[in-house]
Amino acid sequence: MKPKHGKTAVILSWQNTAGIEEQLDYLRVFRDLGVRKMQLTYNTQNYSGAGYTEIRDSGLTGFGQEVVTEMAKLGIVFDLSHVGPQTSADVIEFAPAGKPPCFSHVLPGGMLDHPRNKSDALIKGIAAKGGFIGLSQFGPHMEKGNDSTIDDYVRALDYVIGLAGEDLVGIGSDSSEGHGRPSDFMAWCNKDKGYARRLTPWGSQKVVKPLGPLAEMEKLAESMARSGWSEAKIRKVLGENWLNYLEKIFGE
């Protein structure tokens, strides 16, 4: 996946497979329309499994196994960021060889015990399959909460690299160019199906300082350098690892 035309690529993705309903054939339809990454569940239960806020984590369902198998065949990334711990573990174990899942935007539970964060065991499990871990910059899920700085974020990256290795870790900012935190859009996202029960009372919603818009991302490289990272490690984590993982899944 070497750049050929000097252009920025945009990947269409979903945060839920609820859009396919119970129709496996829809996966090919949406893949052909350009959707190349889907989160298996978003916070709550769907036909495939349970999200992390569900009262009881059902684990990967029989239909979910079919969804994972078909997504792998079609070259669609299956993401487990908001997926419940049991369902996540089941998907990691079930994933076809050579087509591992990812956590596109998470933080380590070993630094902050929060239900949205992923345990050391899950991070090691996804790494053992050759999957990918993208680290979120969402303040409330950081060890120091909204007081977290860009240097704290680099420390979190190093923590996960210690679990998974520097070839499988990258940036999964979970920030938005178009919607601030808080916003009406984020309030909608924070309700089950956009209108029902409130799922997670985040309170003040911020990304780590001074990150946010993409224009500020160069400051991250500066922080990595301050922490003694080599140029090769910086390049991997800032993007090369993502490209290598996507090439593995897309098969192109």
Q: How does pLDDT run across 134-187, given as a tens digit for each residue?
A: 999 988 899 998 899 999 999 999 999 999 999 999 999 887 655 555 677 777
Q: For 217-222, what is the mean pLDDT?
A: 90
Q: Specify the residue for token string 């924070």.
A: 190
In a domain, residue 77? The reply is yes
In a domain, residue 2? The reply is no
Backbone phi, psi, residue 222, to 5°: -65, -40
Nearest to 85 by CA among 106, 105, 113, 115: 115
In a domain, residue 7? The reply is no
CA distances from 39 to 44, 140, 214 (A): 12, 21, 23
Whether the predicted pLDDT of 69 surpasses 70: yes
In a domain, residue 4? The reply is no
Pull the structure tokens for residue 209. 């300082």
Number of folded domains in the chain?
1
In a domain, residue 140? The reply is yes
In a domain, residue 238? The reply is yes
Q: Is 8 exposed, middle or buried (0-12, 13-18, 19+ CB in 10 A)?
A: exposed
Residues 244 and 167: beta-carbon distance below 8 Å: yes
Pull the structure tokens for residue 43. 């916070």
CB count within 10 Å of CB 124 equals 12
Instruction: Give the CATH number for residue 19.
Output: 3.20.20.140
Domain span including residue 83: 12-250
In a domain, residue 1? The reply is no
Structure confidence by residue, pLDDT tens digits, 59-68: 999 999 999 9
Structure confidence by residue, pLDDT tens digits, 91-109: 999 999 999 999 999 999 9
In a domain, residue 71? The reply is yes
Percent of the chain with pLDDT over 90: 74
pTM of the model as a whole: 0.91
